[in-house]
Chains A and B, each alone.
Chain A
Amino acid sequence: MNIIKLNALDGTQIEFDKDSQAGCGAMKDVYFSPDKSYVVGFFRKPQDNNSRERLQTIVTNYKKMLFENEGGKNIESLFCWPTHIVEYNDGNKVKIGVVCPTYDKKFFFASGKFKGKEQEGKWFASAKLRNKFLESDVKGNWLNYLQVCIKIARAVKRLHAAGLAHSDLSYKNILINPLSGDACIIDIDGLVVPGKFPPDVVGTPDFIAPEVLETMELEKNDKNKKLPQRSTDQHALAVLIYMYLLYRHPLRGGMVCDPSDSDNDEKLLMGKEALFIEHPTNNKNRPLLSSLSKDELPQGNIDLLPYTLVGPYLKELFDRAFIKGLHNPRERPTADEWERALIKTVDLIQPCPNPKCEAKFFVFDNTKYPKCPFCGTSYEKTLPVLNFYYKPRSKGNFMNENIRLMVFEQQSLYKWHIDRNIFPNEKIKDCDRKPVGDFHFIKGKWWLVNRNIEKLVDVTTEPHVEILKKQKVELTEGRKLLFSNNGNLRLAIVQMANDKKRK
């Protein structure tokens, strides 16, 4: 042990063990504190005034803005946010360091050949690494990845809403734990604010926006040069979500742009010539099955696992990100739109009836003969779908909201299903997190049990029947259920999908 004691710029006493190096990144050497509750990362290169001011603002004003406003407490775990700045004279020169909390235990491999290593997102995002190296007990199921993506989208949403851009979002700068559906954004010290704090880096390959690569060679002051900013974060976010849900890169297909120069080929493929591998009308970049290795399959096969398996809400956003918005940054979906679409997609999920299915959950596509896209197992039971309507004006009719809930055995009904004024994001109150009802399949019939719904009325036919707490109502085609919560009304119309008798 070689403990060094320092005072941070804000006066806090900081200690680190010079013999206990936690790691060394591209820019920093990182040391543990004696109790390993935090780390100190020293920049190898001297930091200019602008970078120092940025670090100072990150540990003070930005931290306050993100975590001390509404919902701030619930997003703290989504970031590894720097807490203090230190200066250290190691005898030769004065080095600047940032103090950060140690990553949570859940972001380290607990067993297997990578035991003790950080769970960098990269391990989970590529078919090759998943199939070749990861044991099945760390991979998690498909629903877990929706949850991971919700966390990432939410974190980016809050950064952007505060006027900040991350500038280097990638699976290297995000730790994930699929088993618990958690994600944590690390390496916050490069935050970008246009006109104030310019970016230090162009980003990480695979995640750099096409316009940044395309204009990389332009002079620093050329106004056509595109630098990392919010819209490039939005590109990186779309790539991340695509990779976590489909385990392949949306732009790496079979196209070759410059067979004689691999660096230039890469620059064109990800930049000027970038093309979605699943583009509906241009098949130039479709992956060639014959050139994929066995470790890249089946995930690399876009005919077997097309991106449409993510359901209608996410498909629309992928279309905007990779078709309309790939070369037109203004069209790209915002992090807020991703969060919303991901949350809505959770309600379309069904458990796969095949106990050996690795994905375990899939988005029900409402076709005549539904089956799990991942393992091909058919879905046999009838499936109730609740279609939600709301009443926009005090007089007048209920309007379709394009929100639905696919019911499965022992699923819960939550307040956000019955009250449009409640939404399960970081601002939700604890009292609104508890289930208010549950669904059961008993002797061939589907039931909803009212556990804690303020008022539930079956309004299918006159006279209306109120379903009191602990009572149940059968879900049948065309049943109309009226929920009220705090004076807010929501109507659900039941559809029975996959009803073989009716076909």
Chain B
Amino acid sequence: MRRLWIGLTVVLFGLLLIVPVVRIIMGAFNEGWRGFSDGLSRPETLHALFVTSMIVVIVTVVNTVFGVMMSLYLVRATWLGKRIKQLLNSIVDLPFAVSPVIGGLMIVLLLGPETALGALFNSAGVDIVYAIPGMIIATLFVTFPLIVREVMPVLQEIGNAQEEAASTLGASAWTTFWRVTWPSIQWSVVYGVVLTVARSLGEFGAVLVVSGNILFKTQTATTLVYQDVENFNLTAANSIALVLAAGSVTLLLFMEWAKSRREVH
């Protein structure tokens, strides 16, 4: 009986994880190294990878700064009422509960070219939807809870006694944050950053809805894979998928390391 369960687990693990990865590797190299490098060196691939990395960098920076600030306010701010804190706390999780496609759709409905806000931005010369800003907003929306959810429990656990001690010793809020709070939360922030990078690297639904998937303009790596599959350009699709998968595996390994660091400190 026990063997049966172990066997089933292994089979499921293999079917869900190993087989697809092997399949992607085989697909990427079914025309040899040549097909793989051709698939990657196409101008549209390079552009898509550029767009993806740009989004990843901007989203990660913005979410790190605001995620940490949000966590600090939700845990420490005494000027926020208890009710408001609870409300904000549940709103933070909204992106987890809402499908990314719906998230993207909300942005289109709010900031699309036909809406008042969208028209306003358009007249100022900034396109939000079907352009990079919209894609950044969509990815920000999807990844916002990740850092907050990593950092908040740590802040709650360490309590504010150390920070109060620093203030009685004469340290300003800024000094207290960098010298007392940050060392305690830094590995949680790193962990949250890794999750954010991984999530924004692989985000598809929200970005597809918002970007319109315009070649050489708003196409990201994931939406390019989607388009290549649609066009039966499977070798190229597998090649890009392999690059994304390799990126994710690297991040996972880094995350394991960050996790072990976090437990030490």
Q: Do A and B bind each other?
A: no
Residues of B within 8 A of A (CB): none
Residues of A within 8 A of B (CB): none
